[in-house]
Amino acid sequence: MSKREIYEKLKSAVTEMDTDIAEEAAREALDAGLDPLECISEGLSSGMQVMSDLFDEGEAFVPELLMASEAFEAATAILTSGLSEEERNNAKEGVVVIHTVQGDIHDIGKNIVKTMFSANNFEVHDMGRDVPVEDVIKKAVEVKADVICGSALMTTTMPSQRDEISLLKEEGIRDQFICMYGGAPVSADWCESIGADAYTETATDAVAVAKKLIAQKKALA
């Protein structure tokens, strides 16, 4: 098979949610001597973009995203099996700490965003719901997160998003993290007012914005 044919097979394995084919295509890619990172980018990630678009259009749902993500992750594990730790880290899009903010027990939206991040080759640390502000910051420091992503589904819990920003500033580490927030009552104006880096309305937007902001941050480093 040619390089392009293998890329297409990897892409189709994801869109068809077929883990077996994904693993088979990954092994064929390694046997052909292809660059594992290019296979992830040109094949697997392209497939996940298709699934993301279908999800936004209401033509795919969370179960389909989960199955596509399983195919993506299975192939990625094979493709990166021979890489060094540094190369594995370079293969990741980034590291995300995701949670529902302190005082809030709603997590359906957060879980969808988590699924979308995982399916797009992010390392995701899901802290669950009603997470104390201090715990969020501690975890972000521990895993060297690129992004802190917090959801608030009630107006009464939105101030916890502001409190996270404030604590980061108090500890002198605000610049280390990209802070993104969302949730039904949350708005772009609110996020701007508390000093967050971004507000996103959909799971797909969250991934796209995170990629953009991480790339910008790396360019300035």
Q: Do residue 215 and residue 133 come from a single domain? A: yes
| pLDDT top residue among 109 and 148 | 148
Given a cut of 80, whether residue 175 has pLDDT beyond it is yes
Per-residue confidence (pLDDT) for residue 98, from 0 to 100: 98
Q: How many CA atoms lie within 13 Å of 186's alpha carbon, on the beta-carbon side?
A: 27
Q: Do residue 113 and residue 168 come from a single domain? A: yes
Stated pTM of the model: 0.80
| pLDDT top residue among 213 and 92 | 213
> Which residues make Cβ contacts (< 8 Å) with residue 182, sequence separation at least 6?
109, 113, 149, 151, 199, 200, 201, 206
Q: List the domain range (segments joined by +) for residue 201.
A: 93-220
Q: Do residue 8 and residue 50 come from a single domain? A: yes
Q: Do residue 200 and residue 103 come from a single domain? A: yes
DSSP letter (8 states) at residue 32: T
Please give the backbone phi and psi of residue 124, each rounded to the nearest 5 degrees, phi first: -115, 130
DSSP letter (8 states) at residue 70: H
Q: Do residue 101 and residue 204 come from a single domain? A: yes
Q: Do residue 209 and residue 101 come from a single domain? A: yes
CB contact at 8 A, 19 and 71: yes
Q: Give the end of a domain, one of 37, 57, 89.
A: 89
> What's the whole-number mean pLDDT along residues 3-18?
96
Place of tokens 């959909």: 202
DSSP-derived pairing of the beta strands 94-100 and 198-199 = unpaired
Q: Which run of H or E residues covers position 198?
A: strand 198-199
Tens-digit pLDDT profile for residues 48-67: 889 988 988 899 988 898 89
- 3-state secondary structure (DSSP) of residue 95: strand
Per-residue confidence (pLDDT) for residue 119, from 0 to 100: 79
Q: How many domains does the chain have?
A: 2
Per-residue confidence (pLDDT) for residue 10, from 0 to 100: 97
| pLDDT top residue among 174 and 89 | 174
Place of tokens 């969250």: 206
